[in-house]
Amino acid sequence: MTLVQMQPRPKSNAHATVTEVMEAAGPRVCDDMSVEVALSVMAAARTGRLVVCDQDGQCTGLVTRAELAAVRDGSAYTDRVRLRDLLGDHRLFTSPVTTLAEAEDAMRIRQLGALPVVDGQGCALGVFALSG
């Protein structure tokens, strides 16, 4: 008979911040990029999302492969559609000092799977994604 030692689940730290669990920001692209080029960048980088920045390097949002594919496959799509045209509600960010609970609650309310984590100057530090 083999004994299995059970470890108690770690209690969630109410003061833990998104910085402690965020992922690397991954590829950053300019908001004037077309949908087709963005999809190509995603394929080459083997990622499902891109951090979108403006001409000054300020994070303006996040787009996912699924969102871009839906736009491309839509009847209103033209090759003139740029990422900045798609951001809408995705112009949401979180601060590195936001607690995990606060970020998770905000994302669930807005039905988002991930948020860029930005510093005080608006530069992307990483991405915080829901884990389940």
* Confidence (pTM): 0.80
Domains along the sequence of the chain with CATH? 18-129 (3.10.580.10)
pLDDT (tens digit per residue) in 23-76? 998 899 999 999 999 999 999 999 999 999 999 999 999 999 999 999 999 998
pLDDT band at 10 (very low <50, low <70, confident <90, very high): very low
- Cα 48–Cα 23–Cα 29 angle in degrees, nearest 5: 50
Tell which residue, 116, 108, 117, 103, has the closest CA to residue 19: 117
Q: How confident is the model at residue 89 (pLDDT cuts 50, 70, 90)?
A: low
Residue 66 exposed, middle or buried by CB count within 10 Å (0-12, 13-18, 19+): exposed
pLDDT of 120 higher than 80: yes
Residue 96 pLDDT > 70: yes
